[in-house]
Amino acid sequence: MEDLSNYRKSYEKSELLENTIPEDPINLFHRWFHEVEDFGGVEEVNAMTVSTIGLDGFPKSRVVLLKKYNEEGFVFYTNYNSEKGKAITNNPHVCLSFFWHSMERQVIIKGVAKKVSEGVSDGYFNSRPAGSRLGAIVSNQSEVIPSRTYLDDKLKELEQFYEGKEIERPPHWGGFLIEPKEVEFWQGRANRLHDRIRYKLASNYEWKIERLAP
């Protein structure tokens, strides 16, 4: 077994204090997102981990790309018939997490997923490059396939079929909106005494702000 106990780093790039944060977690997320983007060092700032409870009862996490966020929540797109899509349909309670190592920050979001409207999914699908649109049609996501060649051949067939034609969104592909119920902001600090601020949605739909022990 490889011993990694000597892998250590002191986190000292920033701080997270109650007197400098907004009342709404979306505003703080917006601030952090663009600070990380401006600071650099993260190739895809919108990459996030989506964790679900699968139909087999096991949790599973995978990285997807955040495509939109606002006061309603966080939106990403997928195949609704995929393992991820089926898991969310069966149990819409999910967790999103961002790890921005360049600024020693994490954001962890607990929320409830729901499908976005067909119009919203159509709009995003039509904004994608033609290859990505065809890829969404070619791939029966999460299904067992015989080979890579099988996928490549199917793509070539579709490229010929859709030449000069409009590529329409398949009905099983679209967006999920994650409506946040808890949002935790984690800022690395020295001596492992990290700052952890949690926004928790109360019954009156106002956000309760709490500091958690690191």
Quick one: angle between helices 118-127 and 130-138, nearest 10?
Answer: 120
Residue 133 is a catalytic residue: no
Rounded Cα distance, 13 and 188, in Å: 8
**DSSP β-ladder status, 173-187 and 105-115:** antiparallel
Kindly state the tokens that stand for 146: 């015989």
Rounded Cα distance, 191 and 197, in Å: 18
192, 196, 198, 211: the catalytic one is 192
Kindly state the tokens that stand for 27: 């505003």
Q: Are 87 and 61 in contact (CB under 8 A)?
A: no
Residues classed as catalytic: 192
